[in-house]
Structure 1
Amino acid sequence: MKPVLVFGHGFIGAAFADLCRARGYSLAATARSADKRAALTAQGIRAVDPAGTDLSDLARAADMILVTPAPDDKGCPAFAAVGSALIDAPRKWIGYLSTTGVYGDRGGGWAFEDQAPTPLSTEGRRRVLAESQWQSLTPHHDVAVFRLPGLYGVGRSVIERLRDGTARRIHKPGQVFSRLYDTDCADALMRSAERRRAGAVYNLCDDEPAPADDVMVWAAQTFGFDTPPEILFDAPDLSPGMRRFYAENKRVSNALAKAELGWRPQFPTYREGLQVVWAALRAETV
């Protein structure tokens, strides 16, 4: 069985690991907490503590490496741990999960992979640095960078926020966001691993950029929740973090991933995705 190493078995790491397991790969994944490592072990995944284990041998032996952790001011912690060990390792696929935040604000215009990053946020600038670190291995490995929007799925959607009363409906005229269902993301990652191209950069998102408040109103009306009151973007009590979040307005193109990977999102808009989330949540209560 070919080995796969997942740095960070979180939302997307777990979805990708499920696809790898279905294809017969052996899995290793990092987890910082003892409880999380025990849970991974129970699933048949080799669990390693990134703070207490030299990961170089695992990384060198892997046929595929997926990197999900957020970077800091020095870049990607996974690259710091294994980057130098990979220079002379056997060629492999390395997928790095970045963010569409590297594009900064496009004034509602389209963002494409061949455009120069112009990040506004600290996180966006960190992601640009981390991308460049992994791309420095392109002469040695099939490195692919994936720029992701807001991710959602069962356990992580507007429906849960409506249900528990934490949803806030913020309106900013002309503002749109892209989004992506978690299993659609994992599908694109696997397609890249099976159609490797060194230096690839892909935007992954669904087909319909949409205002977040429109999504919330649709979900509330469709699934029988009270629609939260509208909060204007210039409300004085809006948090600085939320203001930063709404400072970037862009539509993200997924055309390249479709053309090169033969990928199509199973959930092309939030409507299809949220219907599946709702059905899963309803099944849990039966």
Structure 2
Amino acid sequence: MKEITSTQNSYIKQLVQLKDKSRERKKSGLFLIEGEREITLALKGGYELETVLFNPEIISEAQINTSTNQHINLIEVSTEVYQKLAYRDTTEGVIAVAKSKNHNIADLKFNTKTPLILVAEAPEKPGNIGAILRTADAANVDAVIIANPKTDLYNPNIIRSSVGCVFTNSIVTGSTSEIIEFLKANNIAIYCAALQASVHYNTQDFTKPTAIVVGTEATGLSDEWLANATQNIVIPMQGEIDSMNVSVAAGILIFEAKRQRNFL
């Protein structure tokens, strides 16, 4: 088994670039996964691992083989090298190099005739994206669609904040126009979270094929979504402000749909 002890090693330098730069992740088709739970979820989600690096001061080779259950390239690294690659302050001593997936909306398929979809337009903050993906996983939605993505899905902060749910959800991306066209072609009702021309969210029927669409807290949804909505919906507020965190709003709306479907 190979051992790397220098942070100046050329391969380690390449991995640091994967951690830090979206451009390098997109160019190579590779990204890093940190943590045993996240690696396990990626494997369950059908991701292919190229290499696993581990620090024997934290985790043993036997544990790595058990957690991945794959015949993959194992590299033992020193504490200094591991700390160079690690994104989190508290960690488990293991990092995998994985191959990214295709997230084209044209490839999205459903296993049900009444899919429930969560659409997020132009989310920017990795923490919000991670929280949305955790909500989607908890509700077991049929797909998460990100319109006009501003952030790389394999950003390490998204992986961390989603606690690996970036691997458990069916996620596709596309432009707002492409997504609206896809939803209409598949007869999926579009419910947009917006203040304009809206009704209370719990007055609508979410048992049919449904897409719940949320925008950013700063700007909301684009006019194109509002013009193509089946119905705009709103969560009634009783305080002084008229908006809430996008991941919280998504959770309220998605779980109302789940309640109506009697899946809770």
Q: TM-score, normalised by structure 2?
A: 0.30
Larger-gyration structure (1/2): 2
Q: TM-score, normalised by structure 1?
A: 0.28
